[in-house]
Structure 1
Amino acid sequence: MKTVTVNIVTPDGPVYDSEVSMVIAKTTSGEIGVLPGHIPTVAPLAIGAVKLKGQNSEEFVAISGGFIEIRPDKISILAPSAEVANEIDLARAKEALARAEQRLAKKQDSIDFQRAELSLKRAMNRINVHEGNI
């Protein structure tokens, strides 16, 4: 089975580096599935999960946007933040979700709603990836 090298990197350093047979990611214009030998592509990523399929395994990484660069033999994902499913701190993610929901419920002029909504989406994504609800 053909494989492709996948690197997921954040400003804090590498998060994932391995060989996989398929990558599924959520771009800003929809989902993309990538197999080895894919044509070179660059696309912006939405907040979501990246699914990494190996020969006998599947792994998920929660990302908060960024870019995917696809080459025939290598896929690079550059994200502001990324966490492998089994490394997500569920309690911290639930606290972030509660804070974002409280900010949105206040409906005050001083609250930046767009920022609060993005915080809510990131927290929900991390919880869903950790719990496997993808």
Structure 2
Amino acid sequence: MAIGVTQNTFQLNIVSAEGPLFSGKAHALAISGLDGELGIRPGHSPLLSRIKPGVAYFQTDLKGDDEILYISGGILEVQPSLVTVLADTAMHGKDIDEARANEARRAAEENINKQGNDINFAQAQMDLAKAMAQLRAVELTQKQRRR
């Protein structure tokens, strides 16, 4: 994780449209906000931000590995002792189908490279960003397992 952790914790709730993914104490959270990377620790100033597709890391145990999630987008609300992630879609890195994510990446790249008016370029870019974020979550999870 790119951010430091402390002994203190905050309540972290991560919920997607499919249901809750995590609810418990965390020492730190790193997540991709619309305007850049965000590092959240206990006592953080109140914040409301849109989340872009990316990988979220959070630490629940000072001596353990980071938890790694793929987040497709959503909303982040930060209060000094409570952080809520309302994700459109969220998945643990270990639960992502790598072959399917690679196929989604290839399809998005093809759509971006197509000529013509029937292509929604913005949607193809978003699809590519989501696929790349899923693949990054898979990669980080695999690296973590090898240690």
TM-score by length of 1: 0.91
Partner of 1:10: 16
SS in 1 for 2:110: helix
Q: Which has the higher strand share?
A: 1
The alpha carbon displacement at 1:16 in A equals: 2.2
Q: Distance in 1 between matches of 2:97 and 2:12?
A: 23
Partner of 2:36: 30
SS in 1 for 2:38: strand
Give 5+ residue unaligned stretches, structure 1.
none
The alpha carbon displacement at 1:76 in A equals: 0.5
Partner of 1:67: 75
Partner of 1:39: 45
- Does 2:106 match 1:125? no
For residue 106 of structure 1, the aligned residue among 93, 96, 114 is 114
For residue 57 of structure 2, the aligned residue among 34, 51, 55 is 51
The alpha carbon displacement at 1:19 in A equals: 1.7
Q: Distance in 1 between matches of 2:47 and 2:135?
A: 29
Letter of the 1:47 counterpart: P
TM-score by length of 2: 0.84
Letter of the 2:117 counterpart: D
SS in 2 for 1:132: helix
Percent of aligned pairs with the same amino acid: 31
Aligned CA-pair RMSD: 1.4
How many pairs are equivalent?
Answer: 133
Partner of 1:91: 99
Letter of the 2:102 counterpart: K
The alpha carbon displacement at 1:124 in A equals: 0.5
